[in-house]
Amino acid sequence: MILFRTILVAADFSESSREAFWVACSLASEDKTRVFVLHVMEPRSVHETPVYVGQQTVRHLRVAKDPPEHVSLKERLREVYAPDQPLDVEYQTKEGDAAEEILRSCEEIRSDLIVMGTHGRKGLSRLLAGSMAEAVLRKAPCPVLALRSHETPRRDEPIRLILHPTGFSEGLEAPLQVARLLARDQGARLILLHVTPPEVVLEGTIAVGIDPRADRNSLEVIRERLEGPDLKYPVEVRLARGWPATEILRVAEEVKCGLIVMGTHGRTGLGRLLMGSEAETVLRRAGCPVLVVKGHVPVAEAAPVGP
């Protein structure tokens, strides 16, 4: 059973994008996964001619880069993004808006996963700070793995622990499957985390009552479904109370998480993680890669969890 058959890596020659490539390679299966490394060049433009005296505005026309530039960049991609294991890697260059070209390439190659760094040069440097984040994370038809740059590369560090923040709605089955399959394939520990909202007190009265035992029981039901002989370690559960992004980051740091797998649809705060500041907080501040899985996105050959 293969989790990711086709992986698209957004490459801009930055340290974070190189680390993203190494993570992509660690998730790939030899002889069964294709890895596409894509570099998007900013388009070159020239002003129209002739320009008349007194002309108020000047139009700029897009001009395609010379073929040798694409050839040279592909050669550089092969040098910088060279796998340490036998993998089927293809290198591509395009011109235009980075987010648009990433999404277009994802559709063309039918990618199962997009992997990218969060701090790069030019367009990708603003990945998690505006429209590019919304375009890639909201519009991508497949899971997106984003990681920010670190002071030192972690090329040889395997993923030993996966943290999966989860709720109890039906739309979270896909990210749950991905978290379990990655734990299986990586031989990693899997921790399920559920964050309940803080109590609201109005004039000395608790307006929203929360029974932690009910959440604990629901979390245990999910854990029991995930257990199986194909997992190296028993599935663990954690219950926290507070704001989702804050608690996710706290627990991830506490357990020294190697990967956070999270969904985009949930019953409470987690369901809006990619709709505002909470998403940016997790994606910008997490000290490990963050894999975002849309609740409705099918995963290649991912069988339903549990018996």
Label the pairing between strands 259-263 and 113-117.
unpaired
- Kindly report the average pLDDT of the chain as a whole number: 78
CB atoms within 10 A of CB 211: 9
Q: Is the pLDDT assigned to residue 38 strictly greater than 70?
A: yes
What is the rounded distance in angstroms from the CA atom of residue 207 to the CA atom of residue 199?
7
What confidence tier does 122 reach under pLDDT thresholds 50, 70, 90? very low
Question: What are phi and psi for residue 182, nearest 5 degrees?
Answer: -65, -40
Q: Is the pLDDT assigned to residue 284 strictly greater than 80?
A: no
Domains of the chain, by residue range, sit at: 6-44+62-147, 161-293
Q: Give the H/E segment covering residue 301.
A: none
CATH of domain 161-293: 3.40.50.620
Instruction: Give the distance, in angstroms, between the CA of residue 115 and the centroid of all CA atoms in the same chain.
Output: 6
Least trusted range by pLDDT, from 6-10, 80-84, 133-137, 289-293: 133-137
What is the rounded distance in angstroms from the CA atom of residue 220 to the CA atom of residue 15?
40
Q: Is the pLDDT assigned to residue 126 strictly greater than 60?
A: no
What confidence tier does 226 reach under pLDDT thresholds 50, 70, 90? very high
CA angle 76, 106, 40 (to 5 degrees): 35
Label the pairing between strands 290-293 and 144-147.
antiparallel
pLDDT digit string, tens, across residues 150-159 = 534 455 567 8
What is the rounded distance in angstroms from the CA atom of residue 169 to the CA atom of residue 299?
18
Q: Are 286 and 117 in contact (CB under 8 A)?
A: no
| Structural fold of domain 6-44+62-147 | Rossmann fold (3.40.50)
What is the rounded distance in angstroms from the CA atom of residue 139 to the CA atom of residue 102?
11
Q: Are 65 and 95 in contact (CB under 8 A)?
A: yes
Q: Is the pLDDT assigned to residue 267 strictly greater than 70?
A: no
Model pLDDT, residue 153: 45
- Label residue 56 exposed, middle or buried (CB < 10 Å: 0-12, 13-18, 19+): exposed
6-44+62-147 shares its CATH topology with 161-293 = yes
- Label residue 121 exposed, middle or buried (CB < 10 Å: 0-12, 13-18, 19+): exposed
For the segment 131-140, the average pLDDT, to the nearest whole number, is 71
Which two structure tokens, joined as six digits, stand for 30?
């030899």
pTM above 0.85, yes or no: no
Which residues are CB-contacts of 60 (< 8 A; sequence separation ≥ 6)?
45, 46, 47, 48
Q: Is the pLDDT assigned to residue 117 strictly greater than 70?
A: yes
Least trusted range by pLDDT, from 48-52, 80-84, 140-144, 262-266: 48-52
pLDDT digit string, tens, across residues 243-264 = 888 999 999 999 999 999 988 7
SS3 (DSSP) at 23: helix
pLDDT digit string, tens, across residues 164-222 = 998 876 667 888 888 999 999 889 999 999 988 776 555 555 555 566 788 888 899 99
Q: Comparing C-alpha atoms, which of 5, 187, 181 is closest to residue 87?
A: 5
What is the rounded distance in angstroms from the CA atom of residue 79 to the CA atom of residue 177?
35
